[in-house]
Amino acid sequence: MAKNNSSRTLVNLLGIPSLLAIIYLGDSFSNIPIFSVFIGAVLFLGAKEIPPLSNSKKGQPVISILFIFLALLQIGRIPGIRWEIPIYILLIGIALTAMIVEIFRKKETPLLNISILVFSFVWLGLMLGSLSELRNLPDIGFKITLALFLSVWICDTGAFFFGKKFGKKKILPDISPNKTWVGTIAGFISSMIFLLILNQSGYFPDIFSLVDVVVLGLITGIFGQFGDWAESLLKREANVKDTSNILAGHGGVLDRFDSLTFAAPLTLIYCTYFIKAG
């Protein structure tokens, strides 16, 4: 246990400052797309963690197909890249490719294998990968991305601390047995208070209203936790504790970015159609 705690501490000490620096540098530092390359690496590592989630159902997806389409999607998000492949073409492309490949593989679970690839493309590429688009929003990209990450972390920390100390009644015992009602509510309140403090201190640009900040608090404090529960649901079915052990003491990449799979795309949608449009 002591070794595990030491590993977690080391990952935190190295990982958090590095991630904050990557968010700050974005994609425009010396014309190097640092942030999008980082997110691309996260998507690649996340894709490698998909097969363990399907092994219990005898799923055998061809992950190399997922790699190719994630790369096509992510490269197109880099500022300065001229190609813009519509999302529906990539979705049709990965479905067609997976179906054609399965015709010749003669596996027992072709429908499952195809479904895993299409779902993973949406879950990782469109949902988690939307962080790149969020960071590259004009004027507000850096501040909103930083606030998103910090708010999600604070939500997780508040939920863990208060849930462990005061939580008794489980909120979803069949999916995530360690999560309690107290922890869930505390996480949401912590996230909301943090964003309101940022707003009060003048952190957000003038185009953000108090209503906008509250909505962002709802996204990070509520839907971020739904992202966590959704990944726990998949792990419960697969009967695995962590998607991998790549991050010592923290599990896999999907374990660390699960909240953002819900919070990031919803934040991007809100900023694009409500804040930016307003």
pLDDT of residue 22 exceeding 80, the answer is yes
Nearest Cα to 56, choosing from 128, 112, 120?
A: 112
Residue ranges making up the domain that contains 50: 2-275
Provide the β-strand partners of residue 251. 247
Q: What is the pLDDT of residues 159-209, one digit of tens each?
A: 999 999 998 899 999 998 889 999 999 999 999 999 999 999 999 988 999
pLDDT band at 278 (very low <50, low <70, confident <90, very high): very low
% of the chain at pLDDT higher than 70: 93
196: Cβ–Cβ under 8 A, 6 or more apart, which residues?
213, 214, 217
User: To which residue do tokens 């977690």 refer?
Assistant: 8
Q: Distance between CA atoms of 144 and 165, rounded to whole angstroms? A: 31
- What's the mean pLDDT in 69-82? 91
pTM of the model: 0.91
* Mean pLDDT score of the chain: 91
